[in-house]
């Protein structure tokens, strides 16, 4: 494909999407959140202190406890901004500590609700229905870190089963939305649930992957049966590299079983920040074209992300003396993301896979749309995905242009969601993230420039996800 022509089309697409981005005046509370994020991200010490506080909130048992932890962490900041310094002085009295604790609890709860749509599938239905009415599909993610006991894995599987009962039943009553309910490969389920294999078994260990796969298989198989019965889509997330291969093998092995030849709709995740991601895509495409997945009635959905475990992968590799498995320069990851997007779009046009481009980066989204257009496709052929609370402006712009967009919506209580919340906050305040650049008023030409134009910043976890 002519690269110069592609860049011209990309700029046309990106300009239209940028013009549809909502102004901060339409969302005053989010504008205040952004100002708070800017304050935190401007000082590395302050940012670290606040995130450490958020991480320990679940362990606090009183407002006084909250206040003592907050002021303790903030006390490590060498030169706190005036508002922070004033709050710390209040901590010298009991009344002041109660006021700080109450404000801290309110602030954390407010921030959590920005990202977490409800404590249960039932409680989340109002948000999910509102998104659908606005032309936005959703994927429900039940929060919870890796399980350590069989009982925890059973409870997580039961929560997934509850979601598969609640969401499809409610979704059946939602109004018709043509762009969200079908694509050239066929119908799309209204209900979509994302699950994590690490939460379906406590035995998923890198030194014994077969044992973890076998233990998770029973629970995941039943969820696939359940999704098939209720007509829902089941998406299996990918986490850190030490469980990536076992997760991929488990998904492909189960979906190849004869009982799942005609459904359900299901998918997996491809992480572009991994250097070997093109090889992983080769494996997936071989599976759908000539391997065990070739006869499935439902195409395999591949959610393309950049990745959210950059720090973990780097530290783990350094501790073991391994080669770092992730791209260490943001531009390299962005280039790989675009290359994988093209291959997946070609794969979708050939049949067997559906592509879901998960990014908040205007360049990445525009590149996929431009390539698909020049390859002869329609904008409605593709699906784009955003994280609830981070990609909302892009979500609105895509929906306004009648492009299929799906919001990844966490559901669960604050304790279970705290680690997730910290990762999302880190992404939003990254100095090298697209969201930060956009909020800082970077010109459109800069936001849509090919990867590598300008400073070659280290990738880092935040840039790996957005």
Stretch 64-86: mean pLDDT, rounded?
75
Task: Give 87's pLDDT tier (boundaries 50, 70, 90).
Answer: low
Residue span of the structural domain in which 66 resides:
44-113
**Which of 86, 113, 140 is a domain's end point?**
113
Which of 69-83, 393-407, 415-429 has the least mean pLDDT?
415-429
Is the confidence at residue 283, as pLDDT, over 50? yes
Which of 1-10, 296-305, 445-454 has the least mean pLDDT?
445-454
Stretch 288-293: mean pLDDT, rounded?
95
Query: Is 367 inside a domain boundary?
Result: yes
Whether 165 and 71 map to the same domain: the answer is no
Question: What is the Cα–Cα distance from 154 to 174, expressed in whole angstroms?
Answer: 31
Which of 139-153, 357-371, 443-457 has the least mean pLDDT?
443-457
Contacts 24+ apart (CB under 8 A), 101-105: 101/62, 101/63, 101/64, 101/65, 101/66, 101/67, 101/70, 102/63, 104/53, 104/57, 104/66, 104/67, 104/70, 105/63, 105/66
**Which of 97, 113, 129 is a domain's end point?**
113
**Which of 79, 113, 147 is a domain's end point?**
113
Whether 143 and 100 map to the same domain: the answer is no
Is the confidence at residue 462, as pLDDT, over 50? no
Whether 94 and 121 map to the same domain: the answer is no
pLDDT for 151-209, tens place per residue? Answer: 999 999 999 999 999 999 999 999 999 999 999 999 999 999 999 999 999 999 888 88
pLDDT on residue 79: 73
Whether 160 and 297 map to the same domain: the answer is yes
Q: How many domains does the structure of the chain reveal? A: 2
Query: Is 139 inside a domain boundary?
Result: yes
Question: What is the Cα–Cα distance from 155 to 442, expressed in whole angstroms?
Answer: 46
* Secondary structure class of 426 (helix, strand, coil): helix
Whether 388 and 443 map to the same domain: the answer is yes
For the chain, the first-to-last Cα distance in angstroms comes to 26
Whether 100 and 237 map to the same domain: the answer is no
Model-level pTM? 0.87
pLDDT for 211-239, tens place per residue? Answer: 999 999 999 999 999 999 999 999 999 98
What CATH number has the domain bearing residue 333?
3.20.20.220
């Amino acid at each position: 494909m002519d690269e110069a022509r592609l860049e011209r089309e990309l700029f046309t697409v990106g300009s239209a999407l940028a013009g549809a981005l909502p102004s901060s005046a339409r969302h005053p509370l989010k504008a205040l959140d952004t100002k708070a994020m800017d304050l935190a991200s401007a000082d590395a010490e302050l940012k670290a202190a606040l995130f450490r506080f958020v991480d320990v909130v679940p362990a606090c048992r009183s407002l006084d406890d909250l206040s003592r932890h907050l002021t303790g962490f903030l006390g490590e900041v060498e030169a706190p901004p005036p508002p922070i310094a004033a709050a710390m002085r209040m901590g010298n009295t009991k009344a002041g500590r109660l006021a700080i604790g109450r404000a801290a609890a309110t602030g954390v709860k407010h921030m959590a609700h920005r990202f977490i749509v409800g404590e249960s599938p039932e409680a989340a239905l109002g948000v999910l229905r509102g998104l659908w009415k606005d032309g936005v599909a959703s994927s429900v993610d039940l929060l919870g870190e890796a399980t350590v006991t069989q009982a925890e894995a059973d409870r997580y599987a039961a929560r997934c089963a509850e979601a598969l009962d609640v969401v499809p039943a409610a979704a059946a009553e939602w109004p018709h939305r043509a762009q969200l309910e079908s694509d050239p490969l066929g119908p799309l389920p209204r209900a979509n649930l994302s699950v994590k294999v690490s939460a379906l078994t406590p035995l998923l260990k890198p030194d014994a992957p077969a044992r973890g796969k076998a233990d998770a298989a029973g629970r995941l198989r039943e969820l696939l049966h359940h999704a098939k019965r209720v007509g829902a889509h089941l998406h299996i997330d990918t986490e850190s590299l030490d469980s990536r291969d076992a997760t991929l093998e488990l998904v492909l092995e189960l979906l190849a079983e004869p009982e799942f030849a005609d459904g359900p709709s299901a998918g997996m995740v491809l992480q572009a920040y991994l250097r070997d991601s093109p090889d992983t895509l080769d494996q997936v495409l071989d599976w759908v074209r000539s391997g065990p997945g070739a006869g499935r009635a439902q195409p395999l959905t591949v959610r393309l992300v950049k990745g959210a475990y950059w720090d973990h992968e780097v530290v783990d590799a350094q501790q073991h003396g391994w080669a770092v498995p992730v791209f260490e320069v943001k531009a390299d990851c962005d280039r790989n993301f675009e290359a994988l997007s093209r291959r997946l779009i070609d794969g979708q046009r050939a049949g067997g896979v559906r592509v879901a481009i998960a990014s908040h980066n205007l360049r990445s989204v525009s590149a996929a749309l431009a390539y698909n257009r020049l390859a002869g496709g329609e904008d409605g052929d593709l699906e784009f995905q955003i994280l609830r609370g981070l990609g909302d402006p892009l979500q609105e712009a895509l929906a306004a242009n009648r492009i299929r967009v799906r919001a990844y919506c966490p559901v669960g209580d604050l304790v279970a969601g705290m680690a997730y919340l910290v990762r999302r906050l880190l992404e939003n305040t990254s100095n090298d993230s697209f969201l930060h650049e956009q909020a800082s008023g970077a010109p459109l030409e800069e936001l849509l420039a090919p990867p590598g134009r300008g400073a070659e910043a280290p990738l880092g976890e935040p840039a790996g996800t957005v």
